[in-house]
Amino acid sequence: MTIKVSAEELLKGGAHFGHQAKRWNPKMDEYLYGIEDGVHVFDLIKTKLLIEEALEFLKEEVSKGKVVLLLGTKKQVKEKIIEIGKEIDCPYISERWLGGTFSNFEQIGKSIKKLSEMKEKKEQGEYKDFTKKERLLIQREIDRLERFFGGISTLKKVPDVIFVVDIHKENSAIREAVRSKVTIVGIVDSNSDPTDIDYPIPMNDDASKALIYVLDLVKEAILEGKKSPKPEKPEKTDKK
């Protein structure tokens, strides 16, 4: 079932306003409708269609067992990213992008393992004989690791897809995703370069209501993908 996107909801949420015209990236021209009071305005009909295309892609990839990582560190979406990630058991990054998350995943994996081991030791009471100060320092380290790695603690490898809120802000993640051949679905404002984005979503990347609306649609797509039956692997046949 195709997830329907409401252009009216996008409009009400302020998705149509880009940046000041003088701050635009000419590569965004095909997604823009015009200029109003010195500000670029997005063509929401195109935005609607591109969101639907991106949602269908996310749903299909998840239905095949592919892993999608959610990335949103700006204040408008941080809490929503955490909420969705926990609710649908989807890896996420809400604090800040750590260089090497894709390009040096082995090192990231060590931090994830350290967090898991420290939490397990705490639960089993292995720190109970430590001094109060030592336990405080251990808890601080657990909290630090949880803040940066808690959302990706289930990752066993580089994800297949990354959904990015504000590709301009998260340019380091975009560069790593390109190098690591991770498919990118990204919200692209009028000041951004959409060249490396496989599934661009042209819209205001600061409009809280519109961003929350789109993230709820992303959640719906991933949930639908998880509910879809996984394709059966072909049975091996003996060659004669």
What are the pLDDT digits (tens) for 14-65?
999 998 988 899 999 999 999 999 999 999 999 999 999 999 999 999 999 9
Q: Give the SS3 label for residue 71.
A: strand
Torsion angle of the four alpha carbons 186, 190, 195, 197, in this order, in degrees rounded to the nearest 10: 10
β-pairing verdict for 17-20 and 39-42: antiparallel
pLDDT at 236 over 70: no
CA distance 50 to 197: 12
Residues of the chain with CATH 3.40.50.10490: 7-99+158-227
Q: Which fold has domain 7-99+158-227?
A: Rossmann fold (3.40.50)
Count of residues in the chain = 240
CATH of domain 106-151: 1.10.287
Both tokens assigned to 171: 């340019």
Which segments of the chain belong to CATH 1.10.287?
Answer: 106-151
Q: Which helix H or strand E contains 18, and what residues bound it?
A: strand 17-20
Among candidates 98, 101, 96, which has minimal Cα distance to 73?
96
232, pLDDT greater than 80 = no
C-alpha to C-alpha distance for 38 and 59, rounded to whole angstroms: 37
Query: What pLDDT does 17 receive?
Result: 92
- Residue 197 above 60 pLDDT? yes
CB-CB neighbours of 216 under 10 Å: 13
For position 240, what pLDDT does the model report?
Answer: 43
The rounded distance, in Å, linking the Cα atoms of 227 and 240 is: 39
pLDDT value at 191 more than 60: yes
Calpha distance 28→19 (Å, rounded)? 11
pLDDT at 230 over 70: no
Confidence bin at 228 (pLDDT 50/70/90): confident
pLDDT tier at 234, thresholds 50, 70, 90? low
Strands of 17-20's sheet in order across:
17-20, 39-42, 32-36
pLDDT for residue 3 = 87
